[in-house]
Amino acid sequence: MAAFRVQDQPMMTSTESVRKDEEFEDEPYRSLEMVQKEIVTVNKRKVGLLQKLESYEAELQRRRAESARLREKYKNYIKVPQVDINYEEPGSQERGDLIQGWFTISQKPSMCMKGGQVLITFEEEKVASRIQKISEFHVPCECGTLTAKPQKINLPVVAFEVQLDISRRDLQLSNVISSMADERIKDRLTISFSRPSKGGGEVENVVYDRNTGNGLITFLHPGVALSLAQAGIFQVDLEAEKTVEVAPAFQYRLQRFQNLCNDKKAGDAFDAFQTFCGFPRRTILMSGIKDLDEEDILKESLEVFFQKPSNSGGEIAHIRYVSKKKSLHAFFSCDDVAVVDNTSGI
C-alpha cells in the first residue's frame, strides 16, 4: 500500500483575515488624506506668493510715482519762438535721411545811460510818439525848473538763425592713415563698417582722401551712422587693427531771423545774417537834466509832469534816472523794440 505525505501549510485564522480586510479598506482613505495635505500645502504657498506679488506691485507703484515726481521736478521748460514756414518744393532727401534743427541766436537790445539822463516807459506807444516830436520840456520842481530834451534811442541788434542738418546715413572719418592703395583702403573700410558684430551695417559708398586722412561712409539704411558716431572711435582692419575717429556728418547755414525782419517778403531767401537798428516803441530818453540833492524829488517831479495829458503825457509804466556821477546799462524787451533799418548782409 502506497504511503502519502501531506505538506504542512500555515492556516490563516479568522482574526488575521479581518485585519487584512480592514487595512485594504483603509488604504484609499490614507491616500486621500495625503492628497488633502498636499493641497493645503500648495494653497499656503499660493497665498504666500500672492502676498509677495501684492507687495512687489505696491513697491512698483511707489517707484513709478517717485519717478514721475522726479521727472516733473527736473523738467526743463523752453519757450520755442514761433517761426513762419514757407513750403516751396519737396526736399531732395526722400527717406528722412536728415535730422534738421533751427537755433535762434539774438542779442538783447541794450543801451548805456550816462549821467543826467532818464528813461521813461509809457503804457501806450502813442504817448511816447507824441513826446518824441517835441524838442524840449520845462519841468517845474521844488528847486526851480528842469530842462528835459527827448533824444532818439538807437538800439543795434544782431539776430540770426543757425540751420543744422545732420545726416542719418553719413559718417565722418578722420585719422585714417595707411600705406595701402586707396582702393584697397576703401575695401577694408567697407568690410569693417559692414560687420553687424561691431554695430555696422550695409555700406552704400565710401569716400577717402589720402592727403587729409579723412573719409565719409554712407550706409544704405538710416540710423547706423548716428549709432556709431556716439562712440567717437571705431576699430578698422587695415594693415593691422587701427582706431579711427568717427563723428556725425552735418552741414549748417546762417540766415536772418525772420521775426525781426519787417521787410521780409514771402519767398525771399537770405544766405547771411544781418544787423538791425531799432528803437523802443514805448520808451523815451530825456537828457540834459541837472542833478538834485534828492533824486526821489526829481523822479517824482518828472513822473507827475509826464503823466499829465496837457503836457502830451500819459500813464507811466516805469521811470529810471541816472545822476551825473553814475552810468547804467539798460536792457529792453525784444517785444518792445521796432526794427526801422537793416544794414547790408555780413
Residue 183 carries which side chain, given as an amino acid letter? E
How do residues 287-297 score in pLDDT, each as one tens digit? 887 776 677 77
pLDDT beyond 70 at 274: no
Q: What is the pTM of this model?
A: 0.46
The residue among 116, 111, 114, 112 whose CA lies nearest residue 148 is 116
- Looking at per-residue confidence, does 74 or 173 come out higher? 173
Distance between CA 333 and CA 29 in Å, rounded? 93
**What is the average per-residue pLDDT within 221-228?**
90
Residue 23 carries which side chain, given as an amino acid letter? E
3-state secondary structure of 321: strand
Assigned C-alpha cell, 31: 491616500
27-31, 37-41, 266-270, range with greatest mean pLDDT: 37-41
Distance between CA 305 and CA 299 in Å, rounded? 10
Assigned C-alpha cell, 63: 517707484
Question: What is the band of 233 on the pLDDT scale with cuts at 50, 70, 90?
Answer: very high
Question: What is the band of 4 on the pLDDT scale with cuts at 50, 70, 90?
Answer: very low
Give, rounded to a whole angstrom, the gap between the first and last alpha carbons of the chain: 149
**Mean pLDDT, the chain, integer:** 79
Q: How many residues does the chain have?
A: 346
How do residues 208-224 score in pLDDT, each as one tens digit? 999 999 999 999 999 89
- Looking at per-residue confidence, does 183 or 344 come out higher? 183
Domain boundaries, the chain: 110-157+273-342, 168-248
Assigned C-alpha cell, 199: 554695430
Answer yes or no: are the C-beta atoms of 298 and 141 closer than 8 Å: yes
Between the CA of residue 225 and those of 93, 135, 199, what are the distances in Å? 16, 65, 9
Residue 103 CA, chain-centre distance (Å), reads: 11
pLDDT of residue 188: 92
Record: fold of 168-248: Alpha-Beta Plaits (3.30.70)
